[in-house]
């Protein structure tokens, strides 16, 4: 599964990250907060949460709004 990371600039294209890379980062760091672009499907993010919960991690998913506009948000996933 490939997901798009949150953009660092509004006009930039989001970078992609694979599930295997996220697993590798967690093995090295133990816990991590990831920010994902709003163009990811909610279904894929829920699948990501379920995958890491099956591996024994605690996972928290939420939407983070960065302006007052309803369409300006990113997803935050905290994996412990």
Query: What are the structural domain ranges in the chain?
Result: 2-79
pLDDT at 63: 95
pTM value is 0.90
Q: Comparing C-alpha atoms, which of 5, 16, 14, 28 is closest to residue 77?
A: 5
Question: pLDDT per residue over 32-80, tens digit each?
Answer: 999 999 999 999 999 999 999 999 999 999 999 988 988 889 999 999 9
φ and ψ at residue 71, rounded to 5 degrees: -90, 0
Provide the H-helix boundaries in the chain: 19-29, 42-54
Separation of alpha carbons 38 and 44, rounded Å: 11
């Amino acid at each position: 599964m490939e997901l798009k990371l949150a953009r660092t600039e509004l006009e930039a294209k989001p970078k992609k990250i694979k599930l295997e890379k996220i697993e590798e980062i967690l093995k090295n760091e133990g816990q991590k907060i990831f920010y994902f672009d709003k163009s990811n499907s909610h279904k894929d993010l829920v699948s990501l949460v379920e995958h890491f919960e099956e591996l024994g991690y605690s996972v928290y998913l939420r939407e983070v709004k960065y302006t007052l506009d309803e369409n300006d948000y990113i997803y935050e996933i905290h994996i412990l």
